[in-house]
Amino acid sequence: MPKLPDSQAWRWTVIGVVAAVVVVVVGALTGHIRRADDVDCTRVKCVALTFDDGPGPFTDRLLQILKDNDAKATFFLIGNKVAANPDGAKRIVDAGMEVANHTWEHANMTTIPPELIPSQLSKANDAIKSATGVTPTLYRPAGGLSNDAVRHAAKQLGMAEILWDVIPFDWINDSDLAATTYMLKTQIRPGSVVLFHDTYSSTVDVVYQFIPVLKANGYHLVTVSQLLGPREPGSSYGGRENGPPANDIRDIPPADIPTLPNTPSPKPMPNFPITDIPGQNSGGPQ
Ligand SMILES: [Zn+2]
């Protein structure tokens, strides 16, 4: 007859394993154990940078900057651009970023025929899923223009709307980085969702030089989902305007801000291809 394990040792092993399992399960359920790349935005300052209208020719440079800074961000992608450039969309996910839906063709969702609203969302999701393997649950309508019909269609698709808290007008300030930076400096506060467009090389420049400012001010750069957590389908977050200045950001020594590569900023990229639904261009790059 084989010798049974020493009963005392066996008992303590079981107790140890059970205790470890309890610690992990309770920790996970209460949020005390998190992935290494996760942060608790209820305890530290977080900001969610978001980039609309891509993927575009400057997206890869932006991804490298974000990766170099251990920063996360959320990209609201235009469906037909993803369909035309699936590898570009895939690289966003491969870089650890969140992808979300910015409609199929950047139409004004509040004025297109209502029967076209669901397909603007579903076609973009299909393209993003096909390119990246990820099905977005967040969307941002072109121009932030939305209404009950849009949110109802989104709810049917299990999607939540994300607008923004800070709009630095990066497309208007394409040749004036200081103006965009001023808006960021005065408007960002803990928990802000910030609207950018990675269709502008100048926006990438701004982000390159402003990330060190954010980090020196104690901000963690996270995705929208990391910042806000799960969103109720059909709900809407944020608005279309800046609020009163927060003035939460202090300057850092100029020497701590990286100099830009000595390359002229190319002309801003148009939203291309823009909607071909007659008269339904949203009227701007938002
Ligand atoms: Zn847009």
Cα–Cα distance for residue pair 244/240, rounded to 1 Å: 13
Supply 179's token pair.
């103006």
Q: Is 32 one of the annotated active-site residues of the chain?
A: no
Q: Is 197 one of the annotated active-site residues of the chain?
A: yes
Q: Which of 165, 197, 198, 220 is flagged as catalytic?
A: 197
Question: SS3 for 281?
Answer: strand
d(CA 106, ligand 1 centre) in Å: 6
The pTM of the full predicted model, rounded to 2 decimals, is 0.83
d(CA 21, ligand 1 centre) in Å: 46
Q: Which amino acid is at 158?
A: G
pLDDT tens digits, one per residue of 219-232: 999 999 999 999 99
Cα–Cα distance for residue pair 223/15, rounded to 1 Å: 39
Cα–Cα distance for residue pair 110/76, rounded to 1 Å: 18
Report yes or no: 59 and 65 within 8 Å, Cβ to Cβ.
Answer: no
d(CA 239, ligand 1 centre) in Å: 14
> In sequence order, what are the residues at sequence separation of 6 or more whose Cβ sits closer than 8 angstroms to the Cβ of residue 43?
none
DSSP 8-state secondary structure symbol assigned to residue 162: E
pLDDT tens digits, one per residue of 182-230: 999 999 999 999 999 998 888 999 999 999 999 999 999 999 999 999 9
DSSP 8-state secondary structure symbol assigned to residue 80: H
DSSP 8-state secondary structure symbol assigned to residue 240: S
> In sequence order, what are the residues at sequence separation of 6 or more whose Cβ sits closer than 8 angstroms to the Cβ of residue 116?
107, 277
pLDDT tens digits, one per residue of 223-272: 999 999 999 999 999 999 999 999 999 999 999 999 987 766 566 555 54
